[in-house]
Structure 1
């Protein structure tokens, strides 16, 4: 099992949203933190934030000013952010493509951990073969399959207990003739010595350990949240960290049927703790972000709005176009 997962696997590109989201790194990634911050408070509105305000917010999480400015610049070059300049002052917002990816990804995170699907005891098998010179295409396919809940049982043979969804069909259709075969059927029981259990494609013990670590870390904060003892800066840091951690679980634990998993599987308790932290700190964190941005923006920035897990579950409509009331002298999209 690959860990930590790249953010492309968590919020993948599709045919309509070609944007290169930053790779996840060990520890805190300034680019990943910047994306999470902007998504958590400006995803619906794509509000412009002064670069100095973004730097100040990242500084509260331990990112140096130089590191923050480098992260912003790289995100603009990747097409994740749009930049504007008015005199000597620059502002940034999520690009429409990035916002679309992040909105879909957020909905997927809470949906896939909130429901349990029925299972007919059949497996979907995707077998593919791509020439060595098509390495980038092979990596993109593997990332997309993992995002869709598939895992490699053998090299070039990926499995899932669920039907092939339209998104996967479209991805596979782009591979070209003779590149892939898809089957669906029941496992034939063989001698235990030679048989490979389909569950071996996932490291179930490692996933359980990740859940236990997550719950041990975040349950400790719940009494503090309930008592209102988490201040603004700490609320923003906690929401950023809990989202950055929890969003990996649908990839680590791709909603396998409960009958295949150990008793007392911790998917539901982990989701409940995530929602308690993320939702419980939303108001405090939003007020703090507004307070940090205000000295740099010169106005209240009504587009700064924290969303909750219920909002993500319902789906967030992403604003499009340019807000003419804040029209910059120039708008650029990093390439």
Structure 2
């Protein structure tokens, strides 16, 4: 099963811990992924123009260096990944408290209002009504930080409830199925599981260093595609067995196999390797 990997994702995935990408390795992995040299060159130029990288040298002997600001921004949210796997293992149980956020940002601050709404959805919130969102997680600090950054914190209200009802529906699992697009989230994880199964098979058959990097990049791209829209609801709110749990378990096996077979993996993969539990 092929995986669509954006060229920008490939470049950023190959950054070492000291912020360096060797152009020779970049072009080799890009070629393995079916990307042209021109495609890579144009992407590198855009990244340089955006101030995210500098380039020393030319062609395949060049060295790309990520700027300190871009390096900090590109750090993966390790705690998010750890929480994901802890919840899958039943180590982060839901306390049956719903966390609600309401905001009334005036039309004159529409860009900030839209940005706050996008941030709330990105954090896993579901809309109950216009300007009113809910999550089963203790997310107040994260939402408050986004609202403060956007300068709209005074317009935001936080509250919790153990008695959420929509119409006549008050069953937590039924509410979750109604409020979040669980079928779509599950479909993304089913694809991730299939990608991971195929890569795990390839890893057991043996692979060159470039092949290992290609597999790692493909896994990272598909993993991101699956988990970014996932609200990470507690298992008690999800259909069982849940596709996300199965997919993430397969990814953990792939990561363990990569760690056994590869040396000198870029920083991103060592970071994920530390966050993802080793299969027992």
Counterparts of 1:304 and 1:112 in 2: how far apart (Å)? 20
Q: Does 1:311 align with 2:274?
A: yes
Could you list the per-position Cα deviations for residues 212-240 of structure 1 after superposition, in whole angstroms to 9, with x for gaps in the alignment? 22212321332332242x33333222111
Q: Which has the higher helix share?
A: 2
**C-alpha contact 1:146 1:251 (8 A) present in aligned 2:** no
Match runs of 1:55-66 below 5 Å: 55-66=27-38
| Structure 1 residue 203: Cα displacement | 0.7
TM-score of the superposition, structure 1-length normalised?
Answer: 0.67
Could you list the per-position Cα deviations for residues 51-105 of structure 1 after superposition, in whole angstroms to 9, with x for gaps in the alignment? 4553343233222222111111212233332x14358975312222333233342
Given the superposition, is the C-alpha separation of residues 153 and 249 from structure 1 closer, same or farther in structure 2, using an over 3 Å criterion? farther
Counterparts of 1:222 and 1:79 in 2: how far apart (Å)? 37
Given the superposition, is the C-alpha separation of residues 28 and 154 from structure 1 closer, same or farther in structure 2, using an over 3 Å criterion? farther
Pick from 92, 96, 102: which aligns with 2:64?
92
State the secondary structure of the residue aligned to 2:232: coil
| Structure 1 residue 274: Cα displacement | 0.9
Counterparts of 1:115 and 1:237 in 2: how far apart (Å)? 28
Aligned partner of 1:273 in structure 2 is 250
Q: Does 1:247 align with 2:224?
A: yes
Aligned partner of 1:197 in structure 2 is 175
Aligned partner of 1:154 in structure 2 is 129
Counterparts of 1:305 and 1:200 in 2: how far apart (Å)? 35
**C-alpha contact 2:203 2:258 (8 A) present in aligned 1:** yes
Counterparts of 2:192 and 2:233 in 1: how far apart (Å)? 19
| Structure 1 residue 145: Cα displacement | 2.1
Given the superposition, is the C-alpha separation of residues 253 and 58 from structure 1 closer, same or farther in structure 2, using an over 3 Å criterion? same
Which structure ranks higher in relative contact order (CA pairs < 8 Å, sequence separation ≥ 6)? Answer: 1
**C-alpha contact 1:112 1:255 (8 A) present in aligned 2:** no
> Unaligned stretches of 5+ in structure 2?
none
Q: CA RMSD in A?
A: 3.3
**C-alpha contact 1:286 1:305 (8 A) present in aligned 2:** no
Aligned partner of 1:176 in structure 2 is 152
* Segment drifting more, 54-63 vs 130-139: 130-139
Could you list the per-position Cα deviations for residues 97-149 of structure 1 after superposition, in whole angstroms to 9, with x for gaps in the alignment? 333233342x1452132112222222111122334454432343234323433
| Structure 1 residue 152: Cα displacement | 2.7
Q: Does 1:235 align with 2:208?
A: no
Q: Does 1:187 align with 2:158?
A: no
How many residues end up aligned between the 2 structures? 267
TM-score of the superposition, structure 2-length normalised?
Answer: 0.79
Given the superposition, is the C-alpha separation of residues 62 and 223 from structure 1 closer, same or farther in structure 2, using an over 3 Å criterion? closer
Given the superposition, is the C-alpha separation of residues 232 and 210 from structure 1 closer, same or farther in structure 2, using an over 3 Å criterion? same
> Unaligned stretches of 5+ in structure 1?
1-25, 290-302, 315-335
Q: Does 1:219 align with 2:197?
A: yes
